[in-house]
Amino acid sequence: YLVSTWAAARFGADFPYGTLIVNVVGCFIIGAFMTVATERLIVSPYWRLFVTVGIVGGFTTFSSFSYETLHLLQEADALRAFYNVSLNVLVGFSATWLGIGLARLF
């Protein structure tokens, strides 16, 4: 909520920037955490699930992403809906990959 409010004030409310930011940050965190948890610390699968699904999953928001995309489509703004899906997927995967790479580097 706070990130979405900040992003709307900063960039405008025509596009769900806040949800995009939160999802990308969450992807980076999951990539980095899972790499460290499985390659360095050997964290139990239960703790990995707790952190990724419980904590980071509570931070990111697929349901908001879905609703905001459908809302853009209902408003006949197919281009922004396409951008929303594309950016969340492509930048999200890139952030996960970056998190994995940086975790392996350090």
How much is the pTM?
0.93
Q: Are 52 and 33 within 8 A, CB to CB? A: yes
DSSP notation for 60-97: S-HHHHHHHHHHHHHTT-HHHHHHHHHHHHHHHHHHHH
Q: What is the pLDDT of residues 46-88, one digit of tens each?
A: 999 999 999 999 999 899 999 999 999 999 999 999 999 999 9
Q: What is the DSSP letter of 1?
A: -
Separation of CA 70 from chain center: 18
Distance in angstroms (rounded) separating the CA atoms of residues 63 and 45: 25
For a pLDDT cut of 90, what percent of the chain falls above it?
Answer: 95
pLDDT-derived band at 30, boundaries 50, 70, 90? very high
Structural domain range at position 88: 2-105
The total number of structural domains that make up the chain: 1
Mean predicted lDDT score pLDDT of the chain: 97
